[in-house]
Structures are given as structure tokens and as C-alpha cells.
Amino acid sequence: MATLTTEASAAAHGSPRVGRRRRKWPALIPFLGPALGFYLMFLIIPLAGTIFLSLTDWNGFDFGKIDFVGVTNYTALAHDPVFKSALWHTLIFVAVAVVLKTVGALAASLAINERLPLATLFRGVYVMPTVISMVVIGVVFNLALSPTLGLINPFLDAIGLGHYAGTWLGDPNKALPIIILLDVWQNFGIYMLIYISALVAIPEDLGEAARVDGASRWQEIRRVTIPMLRSTTGIVMLLAGIDSLKVFTTVYVMTRGGPDHATEVLSTWGYDQAFTQNDVGYGSAIMVVLLAIAFVFAFVWLRFFRKVGE
Amino acid sequence: MSVARRNRPRPTVGRVLTVVGLYVLMTLVAVSILFPVVWMLYSSIKTNQQILNNVFSLPTAFNLENYRNLFNGGQMPVWLANSVIVTLVSVVGIAILSALAAYGFAAFSFRGKEKLFIFCLIGLMIPPQALIVSGFKWMSLFALIGSRWALILTYLGWISFGVLVLRNFFQAVPKEIIEAARIDGANHWRIFTRIMLPLARPSIGTVVVLNFMWVWNDFIYPLVYVDSADRYTIPLGILQYQSRLGVQWGTQMAALSVAAGVPLLIYLIFQRQFIRGILAGSLKG
């Protein structure tokens, strides 16, 4: 990925007639214009709109009655216990999901890299849940975990662990961990693919050297392979962080933030405030907090992007 | 294969145990993924009574009654059509828009290009649900709420991934090819359509497959932008079935199977493009 460094050389001999600057724009606009137009209209403007609305007390109905109230919505956040727990849940969700996805992906990629028979089959299966809608997965697991129909409780009964049966998503202590695990289970495969491609790129002779020195396979992995994967781990953790921050559907489908806000995250609380309570300003302020966290990730990602390019 | 080249130590007891342990673990994880999917599929051909009697039991007959219910009496055909229309229009649009822009970034040099490119990547990092509130109001200003266009236009803003992947591809095309074409008198449009696009076909495939998954599976925007059942896309419809069908497990399993089946099929057919897309999006392209 040295594309960014080729910039200068591309500029040097990419267009032979750099001097004819004025004639370039008419040729450039048909290429960049359409995409930028849609991007600005339907992504950037809603983004700016979210920030703008967070500074108003709009009820969401009358476009003529949007009053600017400054940071009132943000000071109100400080007195909202549900917001505080939603923020906390979001941070916990991201932290735990990132660690589990990274560790799970690394372990799976190392196992698959052993090139045992059927390895590609396992790889294919691990990526499968990613392509299925979170709504489908949420509904299936709602059924599986339901105390009435349910798969899990009868299964626990059958293997003699019946006393572990429970209400699962109805239990405030278990609901959030279950949703986090489900998210990890669904998405670790993506990061496994990234690790696998990095593993393939590690030169063979490094491991060779370690083996000549009498290192076991496990020592080789720990001392040679994993340190070689450091920058990949950085990318994986960042992408997993950005991705985990997007949690909404799983929570919405499985618990709607309940029981008693035990699984409330920023996006579900913002949605609730804006669309159920019609407090558009306040709901937007919650979304801005979410955006702020996303931008921290984005900033780090960009730094990384530049560094990798060098 | 490279296994031989690796010159592995001779199989020892430890190695054999490790391999067995690995297989057990890998199989457990695979079963945790395959079982729910397979259970959903085979439950969809059981009758409601059979499911209630025993949720685990295998179907005794190949009974398509649930699917018939879904497609005859239900609104499934409408939702399927909505999903297909919205997804196809959006994905084709995204591919065209991002290929054009990517060429613009790769073939031209202008002041602020780097910054504009980074600006175009913001879309990759924003949680879409952060935009639904103002997005909803924005769409209602154009009286688009309830229309498929509200969804399609929103998805057409998802150009970041395509621009990133295709720009990287176009930049990797040897400059000599373009140089030669320009000397022959080809303008940018000709170079783009005659040389770059045919070369980029695999990368465009990648962009199409990934965006297909994202648009097909998107739930947030239909939830907010669609207000009547005859405009629902499949994920939204599924959720309605959950509350409306209540205890009709069989029909619900059939609906879930249809919803999961399409992306699964695409994944199985286009696994290569999918994997390449994941890697390209992780900056390693």
C-alpha cells in the first residue's frame, strides 16, 4: 500500500501538460462531480444537519419553529442517567467487542494458517454470519434464547446443565454480554480474513530460522509471527472499533434497549428521543456524542493510513 | 504445496494432540455458526405443530406449505421486489459514481486533491444511525419520506468504499498505458471507458458485491424512511412478521430463510470478490 507515496511521481509524469491548468477543470468535473454531489447531498449535509439540530430545541414538526438554544441539550445530557448508562454501555461494547474480535480473529487465522485439511472450508464458514442481515440473526437468536420456545434452555436441560437455564435477554445482567457476544460471533470472520492475508505475506524463512534454532511451532508463533503482525493488529482493532460503534440493529431487534435500559446504547437512546419523544434537538445531541467518538477513531485511522503509506 | 516446502518437524505426539485440539475447537465454532442457519432452514419446512412438539427434530417431509403461505397470502413478494429494486438501483449507481470519481482522483492532479480524497472517506467512519434524525428531516423537505427514492438516494451517498478501492486500483495501472493512449489522441473519457473500466472489472465486482450486502441488509434507513408496509424492504418486513405472526413459527422460519438466503447465495457464488473487498477496504489493497 504505497499508493500515497506515488502521489508525487504521479503528479510529475501523470499529466504531461501541467501548465494548461485552466483546461483541466472542465475535464475533471464530469468525473468527480456526480459522486461528490450525492455524497454532499445525502451524507455530508445530514452530518452537518445533525450537529446543527443538536443546538436547537426543535420538536421535529414545524420547519418554521426551529429555535437556537446553544448548548442546552448538551448540559441536559449531564443530568440524564439513561444517557450516562448508554454512553457507558457503548464504550463497554466497543472495548469488549474489539478485544474479543481481535483475539478471536487472530486465533482463527493462526489455526487456518496451519493449512490442515478443510482449512478453507472453515474459513468460508467463519465469514458466513457477516453476510446475513443482523435482523435475521437477531430474530433467530431471540427465538433460540426465548424462555418459551427456545433452543438454549432445552439444550442445557438435555446435557444436564438445566440449572443454568434462564431468561437470558430478560435478565439485565446477561442481556448486554449476550448482545456483545453475538456481535463478535457475527463479525470476527472479517478480521480473520485480514489476518490471514497478512500471515500469507510473512516470509517463510523467518519461521525457518526459528525452527533451525530449535523453536517449537508455538514458540515460533509467539516470538516471530505475532510480533510480525503488529501493524495488522492495529488496523484490525481500529476497523473493529469503527464497526462496533455502529451497533444499533442488534440491540433494536433483540431488546430495544431493555430490560430497564440495561442494553441502551447511544444510537438506540438517540433514536428513541428523536422519534418516540419527538425531541429532535436532544436526540441529535446524543448522536453528536456518538459522532465525536467515531471521529476519534477516524483521526487515529487517518494517522495510521498516512504512516502505512510512508 | 507450500506445506512440503515448509519442512515441518516430524509429527510428534504433541503435534498430533495440538492438531486434534485445533480441529475440535474449529469445529465447535463452525457448528455454532452452521447450526442456527441449518436449523432455520430445516424448520422452515416443518409445520407449526411439529416445531412446537420438538424444536430440534428434523423434518419428516419436504413441505413447502410455509413458503406458499408467505408468497400467496403474505406481503413477501412485495417486500422482495422492494429490496431487489432498491438494492439493484443503488448498487449500480454506487459503482458508476465511485468509478468515475476514482478515475478523477487517479488520473488528474489538482490542488487539494489529497484533502478532498480524505474528505470522501469520512463516509466509511460515520455510524449511519447518527445521521437518521437529520436525514429524515432532510428527506421530508423533499417530500421523499415513504418513497423508495429516499432509500436509493441515501445509499448513493455511500461512495467512500468504492472510491477508496477503485482509486487504489486505477493508481496501480502503469502510467505508460495511459501515456500511450494520450499520445494516440484519446481523451479522458475514452481512456476511462475503453482502458480503465475493462481493466477494473474485478475491482468493480468487489465494490458491487460488498455494497450489495450492505444495502440489502440495511435496516436503519428503511426503519426510519419507510412508512407503509407496501414499501418495506425484507429486513423491515421480517421484523413485522416477528410481531405479527407471533406464534406461527413455521412461516416465520420461511421468511427468515428467504431473507438470509439471498446474501448467503451471493456470498457462496462470489466468495472471491467478497474476500478481496474486505482486504481492499482494510487499506491493504
Q: Which amino acid is at A141?
A: F
B-proximal residues of A, 177-206, CB under 8 Å: 185, 190, 193-194, 197-198, 204
**Closest CB to B133 among A16, A127, A280:** A280
Average pLDDT for chain A = 82
Chain centroid to CA A105: how far?
A: 14
Q: Per-residue pLDDT for A16 more than 50? A: no
Mutate to test the interface with A, among B26, B242, B268 (most CBs of A within 10 A): B26
Task: Report the pLDDT averaged over residues A19-27.
Answer: 64
B110, exposed or middle or buried, with CB in 10 Å at 0-12, 13-18, 19+?
A: middle
Written as one string, the DSSP assignment of chain B is -HHHHTTPPPP-HHHHHHHHHHHHHHHHHHHHHHHHHHHHHHHTTS-HHHHHH-SSPPPSS---HHHHHHHHTSSHHHHHHHHHHHHHHHHHHHHHHHHHHHHHHHH---TTHHHHHHHHTHHHHS-GGGGHHHHHHHHHHTT-TTSHHHHHHHHHT--HHHHHHHHHHHHHS-HHHHHHHHHTT--HHHIIIIIIHHHTHHHHHHHHHHHHHHHHH--HHHHHH--SGGG--HHHHHHHHHHHTTT-HHHHHHHHHHHHHHHHHHHHHSHHHHHHHHHIIIII-
CA B232/CA B227 separation, integer angstroms: 8
Name the residue of chain A whose CA is nearest to B259's CA.
Answer: A136
Q: Does B129 touch chain A (CB under 8 A)?
A: yes
Q: Per-residue pLDDT for A310 more than 50? A: no
pTM of the full structure: 0.84
Q: Does B217 touch chain A (CB under 8 A)?
A: yes
Length of chain B: 285
Q: Do A291 and B126 touch (CB under 8 A)?
A: yes
Q: Does B69 touch chain A (CB under 8 A)?
A: no
Q: Per-residue pLDDT for B132 more than 50? A: yes
Average pLDDT for chain B = 85
Q: If pLDDT is split at 50, 70 and 90, which confidence band does B156 have?
A: very high
- C-beta neighbour count of A191 within 10 angstroms: 28
ipTM of the complex: 0.85
Task: Report the pLDDT averaged over residues A222-227.
Answer: 83
Lowest average pLDDT, out of A28-37, A106-115, A135-144, B49-58, goes to: B49-58
Peptide bond before residue A81 is cis, with ω within 30 degrees of 0 = no
B231 vs chain A: nearest CA distance in angstroms? 17
Domains of chain A listed by start with CATH number: 81-309 (1.10.3720.10)
Lowest average pLDDT, out of A138-142, B13-17, B242-246, goes to: B242-246
The predicted-structure confidence for A25-79, as pLDDT tens digits, reads as follows 788 889 999 999 999 999 999 999 999 988 988 877 777 777 788 788 898 888 8
The predicted-structure confidence for B77-118, as pLDDT tens digits, reads as follows 888 999 999 999 999 999 999 999 999 999 888 888 989 998
Q: Per-residue pLDDT for A112 more than 50? A: yes
Name the residue of chain B whose CA is nearest to A235's CA.
Answer: B282
Residue with cell 435477554: A169
Domains of chain B listed by start with CATH number: 2-66 (no CATH), 68-284 (1.10.3720.10)
Res A298: pLDDT = 81
